[in-house]
Amino acid sequence: MKMPVIRGVIERRILVNYMVDLDIAEAILPAPFKPKAFNGKAIAGICLIRLSHVRPKGLPAFIGMGSENGAHRIAVEWDENGQMREGVYIPRRDTSSKFNALVGGRVFPGRHYHAKFDVKEGSGNYHIAFKSSDGTVISIDATLANTLKKDSIFKDLSTVSAFFKAGSTGYSPNGNNFDGLLLNTYTWDMKPLEVSNVQSSYFENERIFPKGSVQFDNALLMTNIEHEWSSLPDKFS
Q: Is the pLDDT of residue 108 over 60?
A: no
Q: What percent of the chain has pLDDT above 70?
A: 90
Query: Do the beta carbons of residue 104 and residue 95 sit within 8 Å?
Result: yes
Q: Give yes or no for a cis peptide into 4 (omega within 30° of 0).
A: no
Higher pLDDT, 108 or 149: 149
Residue 158 belongs to what H/E stretch?
helix 157-165
pLDDT digit string, tens, across residues 171-189: 988 877 898 889 899 899 9
Q: Is the pLDDT of residue 56 over 80?
A: no
What's residue 217's pLDDT? 98
- 60 residue type, one letter: P
Q: Is the pLDDT of residue 8 over 80?
A: yes
pLDDT band at 45 (very low <50, low <70, confident <90, very high): very high
Q: For the chain, what's the residue count?
A: 237
Angle at 116 between CA 111 and CA 122, to 5 degrees: 120
How far is residue 89's CA from residue 87's CA, in Å, rounded to a whole number? 7
pLDDT band at 103 (very low <50, low <70, confident <90, very high): very low
Mean pLDDT of the chain: 89
What's residue 101's pLDDT? 47
Mean pLDDT of 190-211: 97
Q: Is the pLDDT of residue 107 over 60?
A: no
Mean pLDDT of 17-30: 97
For residue 127, count other CB atoms closer than 10 A to its CB: 15
